[in-house]
Amino acid sequence: MTAAAPAPVDHTRLLEQLADVLGPAGVLTAADDIDPFCTDWRNLYHGRALAVLRPADTDALSAAVRLCVAHGVPMVPQGGNTSMVGGATPDDSGREIVICMSRMNHIRGIDPHEMTMEVEAGVPLKVAQDAARDAGMMLPLSISSEGSAQMGGVLATNAGGNNTVRYGNARELVLGLEAVLPDGEVFHGLRRLRKDNTGYALRQLFVGSEGTLGFITRAIIQLQPAPKEVEVALCAVGDAQGALALFSAFRALDPALIQAFEYMSGTGMALVNELIPGAALPLEQPAPAYVLVELATPRPDANLREFMEGVLADAMENGIVTDAVMAESEGQRTNLWKLREEHAEAQKRAGASVKNDVSVPVSRVPELIARATRACEELIPGIRPAPFGHLGDGNIHFNLVQPTDMSGDAFLARAHDIMDTVADIVRDLDGSFSAEHGVGQLKPYMMAEWRGGAELATMRRIKAALDPLNLMNPGKIFPPATSVPASAPASGAA
Ligand code: MLT
Ligand code: ZN
């Protein structure tokens, strides 16, 4: 005997009510309009959605959430759709509604004395950065996807990126926050206070919650003075140990000057050179590994260049750095950064790849890279480890590109073996399986193993208290209650 399929639910009434609240432009239901919202940047997930909502402001979103809750319809918030872990993609049930934040895209003010910016969730990060720069300041958060990524998503995932080494993750930049809660109530926390010890710091609950506890609508961001002197160098090093030694050399002299300290493997750099138009390595010889270091200061008379030249000269004398080039102009700075920023794109073009966004204590980065490289090469001969990332804060993207003599599908069928191999080493080094990309729908199965016991139980209690119907971004972060590891993802890993 076969069980009867559940009768499809008719959502006509809900969609009519949503159109009343959001206006006709605020509710998309045609397949062609919805499709782009149902696939992630990496092409790992292909979901379906009942509709895409485009609220123009917080009140409209609040009303829409109340309606979805009344009809028991799950909601998936989506900003720039740049998640590496499927965090903003609906499942394939066709029951979920995507909430697109793009119309909430105003910068509501910049205060030069407080050095703060008030932004709405749908403002692209790059637009916010540019506005800060035009006001003579800097928004110190920089990620490869900043042209598309939106502030709401950046905060909801506690994005890290290139400047974490100096300014911290998104979490550290948020003074105040507004969010729509799972019952449609609005959390009004748009305060701009450096000191505010009035109970729990609720804003921090939403930062990094990946849209599972509330949808961030507005935020007050702490800005920094605009740099007056900036120096960027690309350095060839023998290995990650050399890169760490160079980091320590800069840090010992003046940690406050290090704006970014990025590591790149020779393999990853070769892919960028080969596959990204306009990218060209400005060194005489390719090297086993590279560092891109950026120093910056708001002081106009700091002689940063002299300082950087001195550290690099010492490092060359000691054999830590074998070759180096310093940017002579803003154009050259952009070109050097391009070699780093295009790593993810080059790896996408190189075929199938498995990503491991991991972190370890900074002193253990060389061991992570050496051990994980060896272990993955033993696991799959011909595999191309191409680790890169934010060495200064211990976050390495231990990405692996398929062997040239293996099909992409055959390689991706081994994704879990690869992830587990890397994860075992990361755990041994007291690291984390998700440094800055989040858990999304790719890695909930790891949560039980890594964050089990009281930690996951506490998270579940918080989730149940705020979202008892589990309607806000379900299927993200949390493994099913009776968790067994999910089967291997269709492709790749982050
Ligand atoms: C980066 O730092 O470029 C991103 O996190 C991308 C990636 O991990 O592939
Ligand atoms: Zn990164």
Question: Ligand 1: which residue has its CA nearest to atom 6?
Answer: 344
Checking if the pLDDT of 229 tops 50, the result is: yes
Is 428 part of a structural domain of the chain?
Answer: yes
Quote the ligand 2 centre to 437 CA distance (angstroms): 8
Q: What is the pTM of this model?
A: 0.94
Is 207 part of a structural domain of the chain?
Answer: yes
Q: Quickly list DSSP for 13-44.
A: HHHHHHHHHH-GGGEE-SHHHHGGGGB-TTS-
128-147 pLDDT tens trace: 999 999 999 999 999 999 99
Decide: 144 in ligand 1 pocket, CB within 6 A: yes
The residue among 73, 100, 127 that closes a domain is: 100
Question: Per DSSP, what are the bridge partners of residue 324?
Answer: 235
Quote the ligand 2 centre to 144 CA distance (angstroms): 7
> Are 391 and 305 found together in one domain?
no
Are 225 and 115 spatial neighbours (Cβ–Cβ below 8 Å)? yes
Phi, psi for residue 414 in degrees, rounded to 5:
-100, 10
Supply the pLDDT for residue 489.
45
Supply the pLDDT for residue 486.
43
Question: Which atom of ligand 1 has the smallest separation from the CA of 340?
Answer: 3
> What torsion do the CA atoms of 451, 393, 438, 367 make, to the nearest 10 degrees?
-60
Closest among 477, 467, 474 to 438, alpha carbons compared: 477
Are 276 and 338 spatial neighbours (Cβ–Cβ below 8 Å)? yes
Residue in 343, 358, 433 to alter for ligand 1 test, most ligand atoms within 8 A of Cβ: 343
Are 413 and 421 spatial neighbours (Cβ–Cβ below 8 Å)? no
> Are 387 and 446 found together in one domain?
no
The residue among 155, 190, 225 that closes a domain is: 225
As a whole number of angstroms, the distance between CA 186 and CA 7 comes to 34
Helix (H, G, I), strand (E, B) or coil at 262: strand
> Are 271 and 182 found together in one domain?
no
Quote the ligand 2 centre to 466 CA distance (angstroms): 30
Is 388 part of a structural domain of the chain?
Answer: yes
Per-residue pLDDT band at 4 (split at 50, 70, 90): low
> Are 196 and 119 found together in one domain?
yes
User: Which ligand neighbours the alpha carbon of 341 most closely?
Assistant: 1
Helix (H, G, I), strand (E, B) or coil at 278: coil
Is 463 part of a structural domain of the chain?
Answer: yes
User: Which ligand neighbours the alpha carbon of 357 most closely?
Assistant: 1
Is 408 part of a structural domain of the chain?
Answer: yes
Decide: 357 in ligand 1 pocket, CB within 6 A: yes
Quote the ligand 2 centre to 259 CA distance (angstroms): 15
> Domain containing 184: what range?
107-225
Question: Ligand 1: which residue has its CA nearest to atom 1?
Answer: 144
Are 228 and 300 spatial neighbours (Cβ–Cβ below 8 Å)? yes
Query: Residue 390's domain is classified under what CATH number?
Result: 3.30.70.2740
> Are 385 and 308 found together in one domain?
no
Question: Per DSSP, what are the bridge partners of residue 215?
Answer: 180
> Are 243 and 173 found together in one domain?
no
CA angle 457, 460, 461 (to 5 degrees): 90
Supply the pLDDT for residue 24.
87
Question: Which atom of ligand 1 has the smallest separation from the CA of 144?
Answer: 3
Supply the pLDDT for residue 358.
98
170 conformational bin, left if phi > 0, alpha if psi -120 to 50, beta if neither: alpha
Is 305 part of a structural domain of the chain?
Answer: yes
The residue among 225, 244, 267 that closes a domain is: 225
> Are 211 and 255 found together in one domain?
no
329-338 pLDDT tens trace: 999 999 999 9
Is 183 part of a structural domain of the chain?
Answer: yes
User: How do 400-401 and 395-397 pair as beta strands?
Assistant: unpaired
Decide: 492 in ligand 1 pocket, CB within 6 A: no
Query: Residue 127's domain is classified under what CATH number?
Result: 3.30.465.10
How many domains does the structure of the chain reveal? 5
Decide: 203 in ligand 1 pocket, CB within 6 A: no
264's enclosing H/E stretch is strand 258-265
Question: Ligand 1: which residue has its CA nearest to atom 8?
Answer: 397
Query: Residue 81's domain is classified under what CATH number?
Result: 3.30.43.10
